[in-house]
Amino acid sequence: MRIQTFKLERQFALYKAKAKYMLSQTSCEGCSMQEILDMADAECRQLWDNLSLGYTKPEGFLPLREAISARYTSIRPSDILELAPEEGIFIFMNNMLEPGDEVIVMPPTLPSLYELPRALGCTVIKWPLEVTSWGWRLDVNFLIENISPKTKLLIMNIPNNPTGFIPVRAELDRILNIADRNGTWIFNEETYRGMEHDPGAALPSLADIYPRATVVGGLNKYGLPGTRIGWLATKNRQILNDCAAFKDYTTLCNNAPGEVLATIAMRNAPDLLKRNHDIVLENLAIAESFFRKHRDLFQWIQPNGGATAFPRLLPPYDVTEMCERAMAEKQLLIIGERAFGLDTNHFRVGLGRLDFKEALAVFAELADEVKAAATGKN
């Protein structure tokens, strides 16, 4: 298997140390170590104080898996395999897919969700999100026309990164019914489930409502992405066992400090989720105001959830040139659409950080300069 460069992560790796401002971070505001330890109950405090840095259990830390399972309605601790989030995607795809399999994936999304199937020799059908006057949408008729009993896997990302798209429940049920009629497995990257901007738009985990579903989750929305702790959840015992066996060739087990910190976080999940959701909603209002002011330069497409948005730079301007200029002149890191394998002039805006307003102010300077230069040419 030969995997193409993960352009999204390579851009962060190349420019993050040089950037003074970050406009495209997908994770929420990180917690400090002390902030998490101050939340610890007596059991977790004792676990931390007596922590051994030896090997941990390959399947994961039971108190953590119990806390994770509480975020589902029917998933048990034994239905969860603990691992790093991107590792979970890698392991699942390698276990589920074989050369010649057909998969359907919904871009824009994380590059690993379509690049890994391609590298494994699969036929990848892209079911793209579309822009409408009211926001992002999925054309379910496209799925009906392209899915068949030979479709091995439907790969979803709900809530979507980078668009913030969330389907309504009736639309999701229709998708699941179509997949079920064709015997199709589903994989959903659901890191930002629980961060719907309208609580009424919240959807259940596919692992709870679709018997052939596997989902991957992580701690980004809780402010602990640096622990590199995540999980796969599925009711299919064979998939979980196969993924656990594959993990012997990757990390083998998880980092001990991260497991305890993650347990504390998941036992305090509602508080951490509210902390970061409040930041996102405040920044979302700021972003809406900014893009209304600059609607002659950008198209704002309203997100429904998560911690990102995916606006579009209007022609004749080029988003790649804008991103390069932002970094060179403003030390402002912006991730354009090519990192997601697209050519649509979109770019990602991260809404989960406390310094968002400061980064957006620098971006406003760039926007004004771009417009001034265009006016001068005319």
pLDDT for 190 equals: 98
Q: What's the structural domain count of the chain? A: 2
Structure tokens at 105: 């994936």
pLDDT for 4 equals: 79
pTM: 0.95
How far CA 82 is from CA of 2, 116, 193, 270, in Å, comes to 26, 20, 18, 20
pLDDT for 240 equals: 98
Residue 375 lies in a domain: no
pLDDT for 377 equals: 59
pLDDT for 6 equals: 79
Range from 24-28, 37-41, 133-137, 371-375 carrying the lowest mean pLDDT: 371-375
Looking at the structure, do residues 174 and 275 belong to the same domain, yes or no? no
pLDDT at 376 exceeding the cut of 90: no
Looking at the structure, do residues 107 and 161 belong to the same domain, yes or no? yes
Selection from 163, 158, 162, 233 nearest residue 203 by Cα: 158
pLDDT for 300 equals: 97
pLDDT for 36 equals: 98
How far CA 31 is from CA of 106, 194, 276, in Å, comes to 31, 18, 10
Return d(Cα 337, Cα 274) in angstroms, integer: 30
End-to-end CA distance of the chain: 51
CATH number of the domain bearing residue 114 = 3.40.640.10
User: 119 and 271 in contact (C-beta within 8 Å)?
Assistant: no
Structure tokens at 12: 């962060």
Looking at the structure, do residues 14 and 75 belong to the same domain, yes or no? no
Return d(Cα 375, Cα 378) in angstroms, integer: 5
**What's the rounded mean pLDDT across residues 230-258?**
97
pLDDT for 228 equals: 96
**What's the rounded mean pLDDT across residues 20-39?**
95
pLDDT for 167 equals: 97
Domain limit, last residue, from 209, 240, 269: 269
Average pLDDT, the chain: 95
Residue 378 lies in a domain: no
Domain that holds residue 73: 33-269
Pairing of strands 151-156, 135-137: unpaired
CATH number of the domain bearing residue 274 = 3.90.1150.10
Residue 1 lies in a domain: no
Domain limit, last residue, from 240, 269, 298: 269
pLDDT single digits (tens) 116-165 = 999 999 999 999 999 998 899 999 999 999 999 999 999 999 999 999 99
